[in-house]
Amino acid sequence: MPNGYNGKILRVNLSNRSTQVEEQGENFYRTYLGGRGIVAYYLLKELERGVDPLGPDNKVIFAAGLLAGAPVAGACRSSVGAKSPLTGAYGDAEAGGFWAVELKRAGYDAIIIEGQSKKPVYLWIHDGGVEIRDAGHLWGKPTLDVQKVLLKEVEDHRARVAQIGPGGERLVRYACVVHDLHHFAGRTGIGAVMGAKKLRAVVVRGSKLPPMAERDRVKAIARWFADNVQTLSGQFQKYGTGATVSDLNTLGGLPTRNFREGTFERADDLSGETMLNTILVDRRACYACPVRCKRVVEVKGGPYPVSAEYGGAEYETLAALGSNCGIGDLAAVSWANQLCAAHGLDTISTGAAIAFAMECAENGLLSDDQLQGLDLGFGNATAMVQLVQMIGERRGLGDLLAEGVQRAAEAIGGDAARYALHVKGQEVPMHEPRIKHGLGLGYAVSPTGADHVHNLHDTAFAQEGRGLNGVQALGVLEPLPVTDLSPAKVRLFVYRTMWMHAINSISMCLFVPFNYDQVVELVRGVTGWNTTVWELLKVGERTINMMQAFNVREGFGPGDDKLPDRFFTSLPDGMMQGVSINRGTFEKALERYYQMMSWDEDTGAPKDYKLEELGIGWVSDELRKR
Amino acid sequence: MPNGYNGKILRVNLSNRSTQVEEQGENFYRTYLGGRGIVAYYLLKELERGVDPLGPDNKVIFAAGLLAGAPVAGACRSSVGAKSPLTGAYGDAEAGGFWAVELKRAGYDAIIIEGQSKKPVYLWIHDGGVEIRDAGHLWGKPTLDVQKVLLKEVEDHRARVAQIGPGGERLVRYACVVHDLHHFAGRTGIGAVMGAKKLRAVVVRGSKLPPMAERDRVKAIARWFADNVQTLSGQFQKYGTGATVSDLNTLGGLPTRNFREGTFERADDLSGETMLNTILVDRRACYACPVRCKRVVEVKGGPYPVSAEYGGAEYETLAALGSNCGIGDLAAVSWANQLCAAHGLDTISTGAAIAFAMECAENGLLSDDQLQGLDLGFGNATAMVQLVQMIGERRGLGDLLAEGVQRAAEAIGGDAARYALHVKGQEVPMHEPRIKHGLGLGYAVSPTGADHVHNLHDTAFAQEGRGLNGVQALGVLEPLPVTDLSPAKVRLFVYRTMWMHAINSISMCLFVPFNYDQVVELVRGVTGWNTTVWELLKVGERTINMMQAFNVREGFGPGDDKLPDRFFTSLPDGMMQGVSINRGTFEKALERYYQMMSWDEDTGAPKDYKLEELGIGWVSDELRKR
């Protein structure tokens, strides 16, 4: 039967250097699909409660999205997960590009990496074969250098590389996994887990895509998107994700100076338009995508000689290392972005950690000893760039900030915790929850800590009913204000969160505006399954429940679903001036969310009957281990 | 905006003879669709707690299905509901044919009938106009006579008539509503509610169907079905629903002698094949349906001179008045069927009441005074036919049985309750739950008492994944044995029950094997809404919750969700010999059902957060009135 998966999972044990291939049947894939669904399955099923995220008992799971390799925009993504060293909870991050497609071509849907190597290694996976190779000569080198060496060593310039940088080697708690230099599985610190395992890279190459049930159905959608890409994604094509800088500034929700403000006086200097008109030299695409939203930028000369070999800054980076640090110098932000790519650091957490340090410095919380001469006021681009480097190298204050803002605040003491904007230890990404309160709920309940892609679309898009969303299709008929947190909003939030998790497993880029039907049609076309939006939403719900169960097993509970105090105070500026999230309303929304999810309100554990309703009764056994 | 509804609801008050037209907007229809969704909405919203089902404060709601009038097989149905005089709970029944289409043509989606007339009346609704007309001359007359007179009086032979018979006039608690002599809204005794209101008939005629968004999309499906009708519905076309007699007998689940046995030695004499080869003279269709499953039969001479002007017996009737009474005489059963049609009696409850009386008689529980010379052994066709007549006329033992088996058993006393097979007072229909245990759960939890169309397909079809079902499309991937009542079965049951209630509101015949996609496509084609199977399933779930809330407000609770003891004892014969439903397993399944539905396990009340999740938070207010 033709379908989109290989049926093969590669297991690699780095302690004893063994590898084995495991098979999973069709129903496994139909239940968990791919990406986060498969990552969550293995992490919940195979990790012992309480393992050290940076010890040999943690596992790193790479899983391609179900559709990876289908010749259609957006269907190219994979997730990589582990118990997070940043949060101690379930962790994963996703990236686009080409790597997942190549993994599929090589014959695998996922890789489970166990144990810990004594010496640096990399994996070379090619058409079913696997080698664990020495990486001693790569250790400590920037990602660009390693990328080049690896392609030479495997003697195939079309191989694809997922690697960590020196930041991951040094266990920066928010180290990322860099895919082919341009695509970043940024969050939750999986790069540090690989670093702890001494695994520098996973290089893949294959020659055979898994069969597809009905190629024509997939192609028809791809063609529709290509034909209409100007209308559907023209902004992204032209400006990249940086288009969002101006949009959010207008809406009063551009994170500025550690979220103290919602507008930035130099927003225009960071915008996608400015990038286009100044430093942009090219655009890049992910597999099969006509949008080409990825930026390639170059800065010649000056203090920030940005190379075109790394990619340009995305919106999150422009805000995190730019406006949120009070910095409007696009060259400096692009340089900091390149440093993050070279070191393998998550730009969101890096920027957030620096903004946190700036506010601490402003409030006199950092000692001279900690500052070592750094002038850490908001807006100081030189200091920001220095700190990125220091974090990557774990030097001085950088070593402290490499622990993430939660741990850094504890170490600094005093009022520092007030400026540490995180949920469950993960730094808040660059979306201001006071301008879309549902997102605040999303930050609080996200199993990975504050995250913007688990529920990004719950409010802003939902109002408009456009593209990917059209929540009327799910029976949500009345528009809801962005500041609403009524039960009606929680309901919308539940549905949308289910969908966003499903979208991850399916492997679909958030920026490709396929509607529910089109996503269903793609899954059908690739797999031949007679699936529906019901089944896919339930896959999403299943995934959230596995993530939640993982966290409950680790001792997390409803008390950890918190939002930083700052978001309960009023925005001082911009279109939403005076708006805050009401704490009482927020607490009620949290309660409603737990109820609607059928999660125990005291422990957070999914109820047995919900797990049974989702066809994952086995999760109850894992919950009993808590 | 083109869509499938008129936006108009007709309200008629029979006490003060007033009528008014009310308007509802698009979101009302998208939330409740039609049929049962609208019936349940009005009954819950407008009835006071504790009203006398046969008093002036009960209301009768007729509501066309959403798609009624669309030129496609199966989309012709309507529901009629009220607080049931049989159960005291939420009541409704549905019928196919042409009446609902005509109501739409006349400009209305639904009719709310309030109050009580002093004299017999009928309603004449024509292209927006409404008249409350005298029906004194019709009172007491059989349905055939009344049909003819009414068509003459309204001077339009194409008018459509929903009427009660003398049984309804006499408040037989399971009196039905007869649509154009051939289509029966049989269950829950709505005919008696109309009788109590002195409303003999609702005659409708109109000239204008509501507009349709995309006629071609609807026609494409209609054409597909017409082109493949032999393959898809050939059995039904050839044998009608009577085809089921032989099938169930083979499976050991043909209700025989009040469900004491599962096979009947004379099953072949009652089969659809025998009917075809002996008394069938014609077939009839519902609106736009190429199947023509409705039978027209004729028996010339003899004790049972069946007329071709009434329809032939359906499966339920063949079993209820045939095998379940131990009777294999097709002419006698057809005659009893005609008597039920003429008197306006539900054939299921009528047959069940007679089988109950037969078993009571066999056990010596009926006095000579009660029997009045009737020889009531199983298999006595003469006595059966006599009793139907006596029930319709409420004479002697018939008067007692007209109360339904629950009340009759109380009156008879002794062990009679053991033989009264009902749930919440409604007689068990002709499907043996011991050969499909999910159906047993369905009987128990059905808000209208034992019912076979709220969840008929939960097991037998689900295994096969064919046509209408294909539950893989909802993510239920593993086949489940018919005797299974594990949480996995309860989950399947929940999904299927939601769908069956949605199907009612959409207006789709159970026997037209459209799959989920095709139903979604029909709703889209008619309404122009960008709906999904998710939205439609949620409409179904919303509907069950309104029905359940109605019952809880009336004082019903989980303790009323019971199955007759007989089904916990072994089947003595047939393919499933020795099989019974395990009481412990059954109780656990009930508990799981309540949990998965988010219904309070003590009171049965839907939880506030579930109602909010369904967008019907207003139902919580109604629940507080209990």
- A256–B contact, CB cutoff 8 A: no
Q: State the Cα–Cα distance between residues B597 and B594, nearest whole angstrom.
A: 5
With a CB-CB cutoff of 8 Å, which residues 202-231 of chain A face chain B? none
User: Bigger pLDDT: B626 or B264?
Assistant: B264
Q: Give pLDDT, residue B626.
A: 81
Q: For residue B430, which amino acid is it?
A: M
Is A477 close to B532, i.e. CB distance below 8 A? no
Contacts of A607 in chain B (CB under 8 A): 595
**B368 pLDDT more than 50:** yes
Is A470 close to B531, i.e. CB distance below 8 A? no
A285 by Cβ neighbours in 10 Å (0-12 / 13-18 / 19+) ranks as middle
Q: Which of A224-228, A611-615, B146-150, B479-483 has the least mean pLDDT?
A: B479-483
CA-based nearest distance B541→chain A, Å: 12
Reduced to 3 states (helix: H, G, I; strand: E, B; else coil), residue B216 is: helix
| Tokens 């008067």 belong to residue | B399
Q: Give pLDDT, residue B457.
A: 53
**B477 pLDDT more than 60:** yes
**B263 pLDDT more than 60:** yes
Q: Give pLDDT, residue A456.
A: 61
Q: What are the DSSP calls for A368-404, one per residue? A: HHHHTT----TT-HHHHHHHHHHHHHT-HHHHHHTT-
Q: Give pLDDT, residue A293.
A: 95
Nearest to A459 by CA among A475, A446, A444, A476: A476
Q: State the Cα–Cα distance between residues A175 and A168, nearest whole angstrom.
A: 5
- A474–B contact, CB cutoff 8 A: yes
Q: Give pLDDT, residue B456.
A: 61
pLDDT confidence tier of residue B464, bands split at 50, 70 and 90:
very low
Note the pLDDT tens digit of each residue in B285-311. 999 999 999 999 999 999 999 999 999
Contact assessment for residue A225 and residue A512, using Cβ atoms and an 8 Å cutoff: yes
Q: State the Cα–Cα distance between residues A354 and A267, nearest whole angstrom.
A: 19
Contacts of A475 in chain B (CB under 8 A): 30-31, 534-535, 538-539, 615
CB-side neighbour CA atoms (13 Å) of A99: 32
**A92 pLDDT more than 50:** yes
pLDDT confidence tier of residue A478, bands split at 50, 70 and 90:
confident
Which of A31, A473, A612 has the CB atom closest to B488's CB atom?
A612
**B202 pLDDT more than 90:** yes
Note the pLDDT tens digit of each residue in B576-613. 999 999 999 999 999 999 999 999 999 999 999 999 99
Chain centroid to Cα B151, Å, comes to 26
Q: Give pLDDT, residue A414.
A: 94
Q: What is the ipTM of this complex?
A: 0.94
Nearest to B399 by CA among B411, B387, B391: B391
| Tokens 């009135």 belong to residue | B625
Q: Where are the alpha helices (DSSP H) in A321-479?
A: 330-343, 347-362, 368-371, 381-393, 396-401, 405-412, 416-419, 437-445, 460-464
Tell me the CA end-to-end span of chain A in Å, nearest whole number: 40
What is the mean predicted confidence (pLDDT) over A166-185?
98
Q: Give pLDDT, residue A471.
A: 84
Is A475 close to B615, i.e. CB distance below 8 A? yes
- Strand (E) positions, A127-264? 129-134, 160-163, 177-179, 183-185, 199-205
Q: Give pLDDT, residue A346.
A: 98
Is A494 close to B535, i.e. CB distance below 8 A? no
Is A532 close to B539, i.e. CB distance below 8 A? no
Q: State the Cα–Cα distance between residues A64 and A209, nearest whole angstrom.
A: 12
Contacts of A619 in chain B (CB under 8 A): none
Q: Give pLDDT, residue B3.
A: 81
Chain centroid to Cα B325, Å, comes to 21
CB-side neighbour CA atoms (13 Å) of B566: 24
Cβ–Cβ pairs < 8 A, chains A and B: 112
- B290–A contact, CB cutoff 8 A: no
- B626–A contact, CB cutoff 8 A: no
**Which of the 8 DSSP states describes residue B482?**
T
Give phi and psi for B385, each to the nearest 5: -60, -40
pLDDT confidence tier of residue A458, bands split at 50, 70 and 90:
very low
User: Bigger pLDDT: A454 or B448?
Assistant: B448
* Helical (H) or strand (E) element with A112: strand A110-114
* Helical (H) or strand (E) element with A559: none
Contacts of A516 in chain B (CB under 8 A): 532
Nearest to A385 by CA among A330, A344, A333, A347: A333
Is A475 close to B535, i.e. CB distance below 8 A? yes
Q: State the Cα–Cα distance between residues B1 and B528, nearest whole angstrom.
A: 8
Contacts of A533 in chain B (CB under 8 A): 532-534
User: Bigger pLDDT: B99 or B455?
Assistant: B99
Contacts of A30 in chain B (CB under 8 A): 472, 475, 477
Q: Give pLDDT, residue A469.
A: 47
From B476, which residue of chain A is nearest by alpha-carbon distance?
A: A615
Q: What are the DSSP calls for B441-469, one per residue? A: HHHHH-TTSS-STTTGGGTHHHHHT-TTT
From A538, which residue of chain B is nearest by alpha-carbon distance?
A: B475
The encoded tokens of residue A260 equal 């103290």
With a CB-CB cutoff of 8 Å, which residues 116-135 of chain B face chain A? none
Residue from B464, B474, B531, B613 whose CB has the most chain A CBs within 10 Å, to mutate: B613
Nearest to A41 by CA among A94, A98, A110: A110
* Helical (H) or strand (E) element with B429: none
Record the pTM. Answer: 0.96
**A464 pLDDT more than 80:** no
Neighbours of A211 (CB within 10 A): 14
**A241 pLDDT more than 80:** yes
From A593, which residue of chain B is nearest by alpha-carbon distance?
A: B609
Which of A494, A530, A598 has the CB atom closest to B470's CB atom?
A530
Q: What are the DSSP calls for A238-272, one per residue? A: HHGGGHHHHHHHHHT---BTTTTBS--TTHHHHSH
Instruction: List, in order, residues 6 or more apart from B559 with CB less than 8 Å away.
Output: none
Is B475 close to A30, i.e. CB distance below 8 A? yes
Q: Give pLDDT, residue A229.
A: 93
Residue from A506, A613, A614, A618 whose CB has the most chain B CBs within 10 Å, to mutate: A613
From B30, which residue of chain A is nearest by alpha-carbon distance?
A: A475
Q: Give pLDDT, residue A457.
A: 52
Note the pLDDT tens digit of each residue in B556-565. 999 999 999 9
Kindly give the pairing relationship between strand A199-205 and strand A121-126.
parallel
Give phi and psi for A372, each to the nearest 5: 45, 45
Is A615 close to B535, i.e. CB distance below 8 A? no
Q: Give pLDDT, residue A328.
A: 98
**Which of the 8 DSSP states describes residue A322?**
I
Chain centroid to Cα B12, Å, comes to 24
**A209 pLDDT more than 90:** no
Neighbours of B587 (CB within 10 A): 12
Q: How far is CA B133 from CA A529, B123, B154, B343, in A?
A: 57, 6, 10, 21
Contact assessment for residue B110 and residue B323, using Cβ atoms and an 8 Å cutoff: no
Q: Give pLDDT, residue A2.
A: 65
Reduced to 3 states (helix: H, G, I; strand: E, B; else coil), residue A10 is: strand
User: Average model confidence (pLDDT) for chain A?
Assistant: 95
Which of A31, A477, A488 has the CB atom closest to B30's CB atom?
A477
pLDDT confidence tier of residue A259, bands split at 50, 70 and 90:
very high
**B350 pLDDT more than 70:** yes
Reduced to 3 states (helix: H, G, I; strand: E, B; else coil), residue B365 is: coil
Contact assessment for residue B194 and residue B177, using Cβ atoms and an 8 Å cutoff: yes
CA-based nearest distance B254→chain A, Å: 32
Q: Give pLDDT, residue B465.
A: 37
Nearest to B53 by CA among B84, B80, B75: B84
